Chain A
Amino acid sequence: MSNSTSQGSLEYLNVQTMRILEAMNFRHNHNTALYSDGTQLIGIVGDRGSGKTTLLHSVCEAAARQHNWIVLPVVRPELMPASESTLVAMIGQMARLTVTQPDLFSSGEGIAEIEQLSHNVLRAALYLGRETVQDVLTNSPSLGQFAADSASVLFRASTLTDDLQSLVVSLLRETGRQGIIIGVDDIDLIPGRLSQLLSDVRLLSSCPGILPVICLSWNDLRGSLRAEMMSLYPSLDPASLEKSVAQQVMKTMRPDRIFEPLQLPRNQRLDYRPIESDASLGEVLLKLFSLIQGKNREPLGQWLAQQLGSDERRVLGFAWLPDTYRGLEHLYYSASSLIGALSGDRSALELGQQLRQMVGSVSRETSGFDVNLEIQAGGSGGQANGLVAVAEWPNYSLRISANRESKRIFQSRGTRILLREVARPLATERLSVDSRQSETRGHRDLTMREMSGALLVQSLLSSSIFEDPPPSGPLSLVDDSCVFLQEVRIVGLPTDDGFFYIPPSSGIVYVDRWTKTWNWIVNQTAKSDEGSAPADRLLTNICVATVQIWSQGRAPELVEPARSLRTAFAEASRLYVTFAATLIAEDDWQWLPAAAYCQWYEKLLPNSFHDALLTADTLQAVLETWQAAISSGSRADAGVVGLRDVYSRRMGVQSSELKSSSRSRAWLYGYRALLGNVAPDLAILLKEFEKEYVERGGRGSKGRDAVEENVLILEGSSRYSYATRKTVEAIEEEQLLRRVLAQLKP
């Protein structure tokens, strides 16, 4: 029996035990069979480790103690030799009751009769157990012999039933009990014997006074029945096979007599503690995460402390917790062992082994995915017992889903900014590659549990346990992930990529923070009062949220918007200089948050330094501060070189390509101030777009102010039924609309 329980789980165990007893006693008190055909059976179903055995034993103990039942020892078929009949074992226990539980028989009367009946029943069961009709069919040399032998088998079966009934009546009379409970645990563990087991249980349950209580897992039961039937009837088609399996299950178990062990609700699982343990699972994990988070690494300990201290239990934060008591128990002891290894004088390899078990505890429970972790002792970097590891992951990738409606942040003078909130992260697995054809076979969306578990494992692997670089994982949110969250038109032109970004993020802590940061920015900016320079306000909020929510982990509801962009930008720049001083060239953003922040500051933040987005004064001040920060420290060259690469790609490298680009790229001209400072050769190429840009920027379009005052573009619709993809009809409609509008333009 498992020793794993907690205050909450004990309560659930007692509740479910009483419910089952009520169902059992209902039959007895109302003299009704649990089945309309007179059979009775109680089923306890659940996944492996969910507490079925614990519940079964709890019911048996309560029944024997409180409810006046005879309870036989629980039968475990998987521990019995293949040659031994389960039916014989169960009947044998009944037959030996006068010896094994003599206290049940207060008076000695009737014992002799019981013993005689026991002898008859046991002999009939032994005889019956030797042969079935199927066996007779297989072994009979002729039809006549089969007829005779099978009749004999069936006669013995009916004899057994009668003798068994007589024995049960006598037992109940002599003991004064209301029935006999026979517990059968893990009935589904042995393919090849399952059908016989179910048949034995049904035979017993057809005898009034006997109540079998069986434990099984639905999925394993179906799987075992399927395997059995496939071997017996190899020509059966899949549909018929499934139907037969379903019928077998339905024949055995009536839905209203099925009970599941109650699992701890998700928000109580961190309170779980094994019996005689002082610390809860949450406390153990907090201690472990605090030990391994290390300097400048992902703050797992801080993150968990925040989750524990908050009433809101976000799904991403806790979906990785095991569902079953056994899973919680394994996680508890894995974490405890790892703490012991970290705290004591253990070798590096032993530490690695403990970590591997911890990773396994999480990955197996969430999805069964396996991270192939190769660990060996290091020794470089001055660490004598350092660990070096390489991780091989399933083919996962991460993206995000967004709310459908956009929020209009800014619309003026041909410049429009629409932003969408993030709904949640999503992960996908690219299925196995066909080695012959070198093609993937499709994709599978991970469940929230699987994704959450994988993110946590990724965080564990990027902890301070490993030498640099630690093994990295596949689940990251980068700038490409959020391009579709924004739609920006500059001087009336559609733009081809994004302008507002937050740092790239991986691991459970920073992916969680990423979504909170972005949504705070969108909501804060959208609800701000309309006034001058709303794009300045947006950039201000980006700086505030990145520093306080993304980098420092503050709760969004505690973050106040800054009073000015200069203040917010100065703070963001100070943090950049601090982080840049701690980094070396080989540091990667995937496992060092400081490197992710620096990458954002150097390459992603400047995308918003556009003169159609920021006012002239703001743009100048921002560029001066940014350039000063970039020039500080050892990352000066890396920062500028990286940015040049970004804008080379954005603009197209060849000037001839730029000339032949459509005029829709004229918006690039708004970057002349930025590029003039970091890449003057690129800034020269922008001259091609000056006329178009200036014309559109405000000096030419006399209708702009009049139309802006009187016309509003709205994204939401109460009636439009959008197509989910571009059909031929949609393309034709769009072409017609564009032709008409082109003709209407003066």
Chain B
Amino acid sequence: MNPTERGQLKLEPDLLWDTGFKSLTRAQVSDILAEIYDTLELRVGHRIAEKLDVNQLATFERIVAGHDEADALAWLRKTVPTYQDTVRSEYSHIVNTLRNAAELRKSSRSEEAIVDDASDRD
């Protein structure tokens, strides 16, 4: 998935189509995209937390509690300058995992069909 001109990655229904999940309703697509977003958030947060020491964690908690997004982002850029790469790599990881899962499911169904077909002929 290519980022937008502003560097943003897109979570959109075409993502699910491209990874092989093509049977969903509109509501299911919407729910799953939100679920992917939540998962990405948690994974990125975990990776960032691994790079912070105790004092830095406490500082970040205070900034977030103040509900100031701009401050929080400025602090992240300064303290964890590679955080955007973290977001991209986790995004790719999730997408690739989903694609692999879809392909495995598809191939296992093909094998079942072959086995069933063979057993019919026995």
For chain B, the count of residues having a C-beta within 8 Å of the partner chain is 61
Chain A residues with CB under 8 Å of B114's CB are none
Contact (Cβ within 8 A) A712 B43: no
Minimal beta-carbon separation of B12 from chain A (angstroms): 4
* Contact status of A703 and B25, CB under 8 A, knowing A711-B11, A713-B37, A717-B17: no
Chain A residues with CB under 8 Å of B87's CB are 703, 706-707, 710-711
* Contact status of A710 and B29, CB under 8 A, knowing A492-B41, A698-B67: no
In Å, the complex CA distance between A717 and B14 comes to: 6
* Those of B8-27 within 8 Å (CB) of chain A: 8-14, 16-17, 21-26
Q: Is A701 close to B, CB under 8 A?
A: yes
Q: Is B36 close to A, CB under 8 A?
A: yes
Q: Is A585 close to B, CB under 8 A?
A: no
* Contact status of A703 and B11, CB under 8 A, knowing A416-B34, A712-B4, A720-B29: no
* Those of B28-67 within 8 Å (CB) of chain A: 28-49, 60-61, 64-65, 67
Contact (Cβ within 8 A) B48 A702: yes
Which one of A61-69, A437-445, A558-566, A722-730 is at the B interface? A722-730
- Interface code A689-709, partner B: CB below 8 Å = 1, 0 otherwise? 000000000111111111111
* Contact status of A724 and B40, CB under 8 A, knowing A702-B60, A711-B11, A717-B17: no
Contact (Cβ within 8 A) B35 A741: yes
Chain A residues with CB under 8 Å of B40's CB are 703, 707, 711
Minimal beta-carbon separation of A738 from chain B (angstroms): 7
* Contact status of A720 and B16, CB under 8 A, knowing A711-B9, A737-B35: yes
Contact (Cβ within 8 A) A489 B34: yes
Contact (Cβ within 8 A) B28 A734: yes
Contact (Cβ within 8 A) A745 B48: no
For chain A, the count of residues having a C-beta within 8 Å of the partner chain is 51
* Contact status of A746 and B43, CB under 8 A, knowing A711-B9, A713-B11, A719-B14: yes
In Å, the complex CA distance between A487 and B34 comes to: 11
Chain A residues with CB under 8 Å of B16's CB are 720
Q: Is A557 close to B, CB under 8 A?
A: no
Among the interface residues A412, A489, A710, A724, which one has the most CB atoms of the partner chain B within 10 A?
A: A710
Minimal beta-carbon separation of B54 from chain A (angstroms): 14
Minimal beta-carbon separation of A413 from chain B (angstroms): 8
Q: Is B120 close to A, CB under 8 A?
A: no
Contact (Cβ within 8 A) A736 B105: yes
Among the interface residues A414, A705, A723, A730, which one has the most CB atoms of the partner chain B within 10 A?
A: A705
Chain B residues with CB under 8 Å of A737's CB are 21, 32, 35, 98, 101
Contact (Cβ within 8 A) A705 B42: no
* Those of A583-632 within 8 Å (CB) of chain B: none
Minimal beta-carbon separation of A720 from chain B (angstroms): 4
Report the number of A-B residue pairs with Cβ-Cβ less than 8 Å. 172
B12 (CB) vs chain A CBs: closest residue: A714
In Å, the complex CA distance between A712 and B34 comes to: 11
The answer, among B12, B31, B45, B61, for a CB contact under 8 Å with A716, is B12
In Å, the complex CA distance between A706 and B88 comes to: 11
Chain B residues with CB under 8 Å of A494's CB are 31, 34
Contact (Cβ within 8 A) A717 B12: yes
A484 (CB) vs chain B CBs: closest residue: B27
Among the interface residues A703, A708, A713, which one has the most CB atoms of the partner chain B within 10 A?
A: A703
Q: Is B73 close to A, CB under 8 A?
A: yes
Q: Is A744 close to B, CB under 8 A?
A: yes
In Å, the complex CA distance between A700 and B14 comes to: 31
Q: Is B84 close to A, CB under 8 A?
A: yes
Pairs of residues from A and B, 7 with the lowest C-beta to C-beta distance, nearest first: A703-B45, A703-B44, A717-B13, A702-B45, A720-B13, A714-B12, A729-B23
Which residues of A come within 8 Å of B, CB atoms?
404, 412-414, 416, 487, 489, 492, 494, 698-727, 729-730, 733-734, 736-738, 740-741, 744-746
List, sorted by A's number, 23 A–B pairs whose CB atoms are closer than 8 Å. Answer: A702-B49, A702-B64, A703-B43, A703-B87, A706-B76, A707-B40, A707-B44, A710-B7, A710-B9, A711-B10, A711-B11, A712-B11, A713-B12, A715-B30, A716-B13, A717-B12, A720-B29, A721-B22, A734-B28, A737-B101, A738-B32, A738-B35, A746-B42
A-B contacts besides A703-B46, A712-B8, 10 pairs, CB < 8 Å: A704-B41, A706-B73, A711-B40, A713-B11, A715-B12, A719-B17, A723-B23, A725-B25, A729-B23, A744-B39
Which residues of B come within 8 Å of A, CB atoms?
4, 7-14, 16-17, 21-26, 28-49, 60-61, 64-65, 67, 69, 72-73, 76, 83-84, 86-88, 91, 93-94, 97-98, 101-102, 105
